[in-house]
């Protein structure tokens, strides 16, 4: 997947990615991320509203060696057990997709 085209599809499907520093976004491993569409997009936006966090969609694969992962850059959301259960329930309904919640507003890891 070409990086520029993949980045455009991702930032269109997940608008909060545009809040990232452009240099950080350019350096991310985009192959591990899923461009949300249909039921995946609906579940992601519903979860963001319910959890008050940013939610990203991932493929269940190993990260590429030497590439920067979003989870290395952003602080996770602080979720209560019910919120974690909501993420896991959504994953059960969306085979082949993993979900991760990030702090809203975005916070970079130190």
pLDDT tens per residue across span 24-78 = 888 888 889 999 999 999 999 999 999 999 999 999 988 778 788 999 999 999 9
Alpha helices by DSSP H, listed for 52-99, are 70-73, 81-93
From the CB of residue 70, how many other CB atoms can be counted at a distance below 10 Å? 20
pLDDT of residue 1: 46
Domain tally for the chain? 1
CA distances (Å), origin 12, targets 26, 35, 61, 79, 83: 15, 9, 23, 26, 25
pLDDT of residue 45: 97
What range does the domain containing 68 cover? 3-102
Is 108 within the bounds of a domain?
A: no
Cis peptide before 95 (omega within 30 of 0): no
Q: Tell me how far apart the alpha carbons of residues 23 and 21 are, in angstroms, rounded to a whole number.
A: 5
pLDDT of residue 2: 60
pLDDT of residue 5: 83
pLDDT of residue 101: 98
Please, are residues 75 and 109 in contact by the beta-carbon 8 Å criterion?
Answer: yes
For the cut 60, the answer to whether the pLDDT of residue 19 exceeds it is: yes
pLDDT of residue 62: 81
Give the DSSP H/E element, type plus range, for residue 44.
helix 38-51
* Two tokens, residue 50: 């319910």
Is 78 within the bounds of a domain?
A: yes
């Amino acid at each position: 997947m070409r990086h520029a085209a993949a980045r455009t599809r991702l930032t269109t499907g997940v608008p909060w990615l545009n809040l990232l520093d452009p240099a950080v976004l350019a350096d991310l491993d985009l192959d591990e991320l899923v461009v949300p569409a249909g039921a995946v997009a609906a579940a992601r936006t519903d979860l963001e509203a319910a959890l008050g966090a940013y939610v990203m969609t991932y493929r269940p694969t190993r990260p590429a060696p030497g590439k920067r992962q979003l989870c290395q850059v952003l602080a996770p959301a602080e979720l209560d057990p019910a919120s974690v259960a909501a993420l896991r329930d959504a994953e059960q309904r969306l085979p082949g997709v993993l979900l991760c919640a990030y702090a809203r507003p975005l916070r970079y890891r130190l």
